[in-house]
Amino acid sequence: MASRANSRTGSDTKLRKGDATRAAILAATARRFAEKGYADCTLREIAALTGMKAGSIYYHFPSKEKLLEEVIRTGTDRLVEAVTHDLAALEAGASAATRLRTLVRAHASCFLDVRGDANTFLRIYEYLPPVMRRKTRPMRVAYAQIWFDIFDEGVESGEFVQNVDRNLFIPFLLQSLNGIIEWFSPSRMTIDGVCEMIDNALLSGILAREGVPAELVTRAAR
């Protein structure tokens, strides 16, 4: 009986150590891909960053392509976790405008807030080869659906105008937010300031003028 318990404990410890090693490889890969791009980065470089031999990485990831896929998945998972967490923190019955504003802030913060490492995982999309962009598309589509759903609810409730094409507006908005790291300057602006600017520009274009709480219209028009 004790032997079985010791065996399980040993397996659990090995599993935890393996998970930690895997996480370290993913973090190092994300940083290196963001710095050099996918094509110019080698597994040998990534192994050196984690203190491993290049061959050891294959124990956790069968190929460089699979490693890239997992980095993208990790970044997307963290992005989804951030936006769903912030949405869940809102009061019950929050307006579509409030929820869309929350999405914008959570998404932008993931890209800009250096206190976490989600932004490292998210910065590499621009370096993806075409085949990987196609392969990771289902992840991006699932994330975008969160935005589509809230936008559709806003249109249905009368908060948002009906003459904005959702299939153009949401991809445009997400692409704009994804590029925020390219022009954001912490010495000249704050995350709050950028989010308020995007918020005002966004809402001024899609808020209906009738049947909308006055404070939302006022804020959007500022």
What's the full length of the chain, in residues? Answer: 222
155 in the same domain as 58: no
Does 111 share its domain with 193? yes
Reported pTM: 0.74
Enclosing domain of residue 112: 65-221
Q: What is the pLDDT of residues 43-60, one digit of tens each?
A: 888 888 888 887 888 888
Question: What would the pLDDT profile of 4-50 be if each residue is shown by its tens digit?
Answer: 445 444 444 544 666 788 888 888 888 888 777 777 888 888 888 88
Same-domain check for residues 199 and 159: yes
Residues 174, 192: Cα–Cα separation, whole Å: 18
| Whole-angstrom distance, CA of residue 31 vs CA of residue 91 | 37
Q: Are residues 101 and 28 in the same domain?
A: no
E strand or H helix at 211, and its extent? none
